[in-house]
Amino acid sequence: MIAVTVSMKVTQEPLKRTPVVLRFDEDGRETAPVLTDRLGTATFDLPPTSGQVLVSGIPRYDGRLDGEIRIELWSITQSEQGSHCHPGTFPSGSNAYPSMTTRPVKVNDHEVLTDSEGYLVDPADWSEAFARALAVEEGLALQSEHWEVVRFLRGYYAQQGTQATVRDMIRHFSRVWGADKGSSRYLHKLFPRGGPQKQGNRLAGLLRTKGEH
């Protein structure tokens, strides 16, 4: 069961009869709109997964879709950028240097530059389409669990201003997935080309970290 509750941040007033849509990371599919009730809640009888919540057509949350998700808006017309559950500033600007080896990744109808290992030259070029394209190049079929890790990595950086360690990932995913699936062994199985801190960071559009393994 997934329950999305939408309210105003200052007054805590619930937003009634507001259309809520879930968009799933694994295949890009969207649910039919569900209107919030008098408590501001839209309920979906669906199992946990990874994706986005769109309120009145605007993405307001991305990450794990499970249980109750609370979305608070400063105003009904609040811009999309300031309303995600993971606010924050991501690194941006080109990291290119003289004689740097780069390679392009074809993302839809344009090319995005990465370094020789697949890390974005400019992290601002990240998109879900980039993650899908890079995964194809690396022979990885993205499933819901991969997306949960990617969303977690980006959300962690937005909240903490630093990149998550493998220990941070184990702590988080042991709680939401259970001890077996939240283990280092399982996370490395999900991301066989360098583990979650290396392949995961590449797919999440983040930079190389010290002590990657």
Q: List, for residues 83-100, the tens digit of each pLDDT value.
A: 344 445 566 677 777 778
3-class secondary-structure state, position 201: helix
**Of the given ranges (60-64, 97-101, 200-204), which has the lowest mean pLDDT?**
97-101
Q: Do 189 and 111 belong to one domain? A: yes
**Total domains present in the chain:** 2
Please determine, for residue 22, whether its predicted confidence score (pLDDT) is greater than 80. Answer: yes
pLDDT, residue 81, reads 43
Query: Final residue of a domain: which of 36, 58, 73?
Result: 73
Same domain, residue pair 197 and 111: yes
In a domain, residue 36? The reply is yes
Report the phi/psi class of residue 139: left, alpha or beta, with left for phi > 0 and alpha for psi in -120 to 50: left
Q: Which pLDDT does position 95 carry in this prediction?
A: 75
Q: Are residues 16 and 106 in the same domain?
A: no
Choose the most confident range, by mean pLDDT, from 99-108, 160-169, 170-179: 170-179
The Cα–Cα gap between 161 and 61 comes to 19
Tell me which of 96 and 199 has the higher pLDDT. Answer: 199
Percent of the chain whose pLDDT exceeds 70: 90
Q: Is the pLDDT of residue 9 over 60?
A: yes
Whether 125 and 199 share a structural domain: yes
- Joined together, the tokens standing for residue 173 give 């995913």
pLDDT at 52: 94
Question: Does residue 28 carry a pLDDT above 70?
Answer: yes
Q: What percent of the chain has pLDDT over 90?
A: 66
Per the domain annotation, does 51 fall within a domain?
yes
Task: For residues 63 and 120, state if they share a domain.
Answer: no
Query: What is the average pLDDT across 135-155?
Result: 94
pLDDT at residue 86, rounded to an integer: 47
Whole-angstrom distance, CA of residue 89 vs CA of residue 185: 31
In a domain, 52, yes or no: yes
CB 104 within 8 A of CB 110: no
**Whether pLDDT at 151 is above 90:** yes
Q: Classify 187 as helix, strand or coil.
A: helix
User: Do 132 and 56 share a domain, yes or no?
Assistant: no
Strand partners, 106: 111
Closest CA to 65 of 28, 31, 23: 23
Q: Is the pLDDT of residue 82 over 70?
A: no
Residue 212 has pLDDT above 50, yes or no: no
Of 204, 209, 205, 198, which Cα lies nearest the Cα of 50?
204
pLDDT value at residue 209: 72
| Alpha-carbon distance values, 141 to 78, 161, 183 (Å) | 35, 29, 20
Which tokens hold the place of 76?
């009904």
Q: Same domain for 112 and 195?
A: yes
- What's residue 84's pLDDT? 43
Kindly state whether residue 42 falls inside one of the protein's structural domains.
yes
Averaged confidence pLDDT in the chain: 88
**Token pair listed for 162:** 């630093």
Q: What is the pLDDT of residues 101-144, one digit of tens each?
A: 899 999 999 999 999 899 999 888 999 999 999 999 999 999 99
Can you give the pLDDT at residue 91?
63
User: Which CATH number is 11's domain given?
Assistant: 2.60.40.1120
In a domain, 94, yes or no: no
Helix 166-177 vs helix 144-160: crossing angle, to nearest 10:
120
Query: Does residue 78 belong to any structural domain of this protein?
Result: no
- Residue 68's φ and ψ, nearest 5 degrees, are -90, 130
- Specify whether 118 is located in the same domain as 36: no
Answer whether residue 57 is part of any domain.
yes
CATH number of the domain where residue 156 is located: 1.10.10.370
Q: Are residues 107 and 198 in the same domain?
A: yes
| Residue 82 covered by a domain | no
Do 137 and 180 have their domain in common? yes
User: Which residues constitute the domain of residue 6?
Assistant: 2-73
Report DSSP letters for 144-183, one per residue: HHHHHHHHHHHHHHHHHSSPPPHHHHHHHHHHHH-TTTTS
Q: Average pLDDT, stretch 71-85?
A: 58
- Whether residues 197 and 113 fall in one domain: yes
Q: Are residues 64 and 115 in the same domain?
A: no
